[in-house]
Amino acid sequence: MSRKAGIRDVARRCVTVPALVVLIPLACAVLITTVALAPLSLFAGRRERGWQPQRLALYAVVYLVADLVGVCAALVVRLRCLGGGQRRKERLVALNYRLLARLLGFLVACSQRIFSVRVEVDPLIPRPGTRSPDGMVVFARHAGPGDSILLVHGLLCDAGLRPQVVLKEFLRWDPCLDMVLGCLPHCFVPRHADTDGHTSRAIGALAARLRPGEALVVFPEGGNFTERRRTRSIRWLVRTGQLRRAARARRQHHVLPPRMAGPLAALTGARGAGADVVFVAHTGLDHIDSPSRLWHSIPLRKPVRATWWSVPARAIPPERQARETWLTDQWSRVDAWIAQEWGEGAASARTASS
């Protein structure tokens, strides 16, 4: 890390940590207010069927408190691992992964109780010790609030893998995430376009250094799926002369066309490191694409369903153009699985209503 980057990190945390401390009592006040006003809503006949205000306020308090505890724990871990040497660096990484696992486990457990989140994965996630000894690159669909938390939790806590996440740079403003991931292999993607290829090279380097028991997590779409973003992405492909990709994207109704630079760099690194590629598709949170839909979706009435499949490193095409076509084909498979799930859901709803 450069000295300039270190100064920026310190300056940012001098803002985010005090802001976190201020937000906690505010969130507690909102929670107390919503609970106190609940009887009035009952008397007025306006009771929310899902107790949405209370659930949202409670989770906000839980998340903020967990964030503050995580910041304090991350600081203690850093103090315990002061000094140089490879052994101390490895201990710092191990302790931060342990801390991340506990925080994610706590947040997922609270989500299950507060929002009735249920996750069904088919095929089941391999238990630690039963997976391939090589590292892997995980390409996952990005749709709905909290899907990345559930994914990383599944990799770390269920599969026993050490995830290395590619995520947006604005998430640095979460102080706990900033401090914990700052000690782990990761890549923050800046908001501006990667014109100089720096981000792509960083992603490729992470993939090339993958070791057994590690997983590089990439969201090829670059953001949560919404119809508006899908339309905008197709228009951009047309405007930049990528007509074949635009035509393919029009036939994919449940995913955004993958941004190629970062994923292709990850595939190059994965092929060189002998790392397999895993694709993850899910549905159940994708309809929550606005505050109003979030409000009306609480608590969740259907489980989050997910599937995955693995492609060995030797099956990754060596040429860039063939690799781009191959990735698009795999993404079409993600879209087809979601379409099938939505079809089954619609059929179940019609059966239940008849």
What is the 3-state composition of the chain as percent helix, strand, coil, each rounded to the nearest 5?
60, 10, 30
- Distance from C-alpha of 5 to C-alpha of 2, rounded to nearest angstrom: 5
* pLDDT at site 351: 32
pTM for this prediction: 0.91
Q: Is 274 helix (H, G, I), strand (E, B) or coil?
A: coil
CB burial string 211-243: b at 16+ within 10 A, e below: eebbbbbbbbbbebbeeeebeebbeebeeeebe
The residues of the chain scoring below 70 in pLDDT are 1-2, 41-50, 129-133, 193, 195, 344-354
* pLDDT at site 195: 66
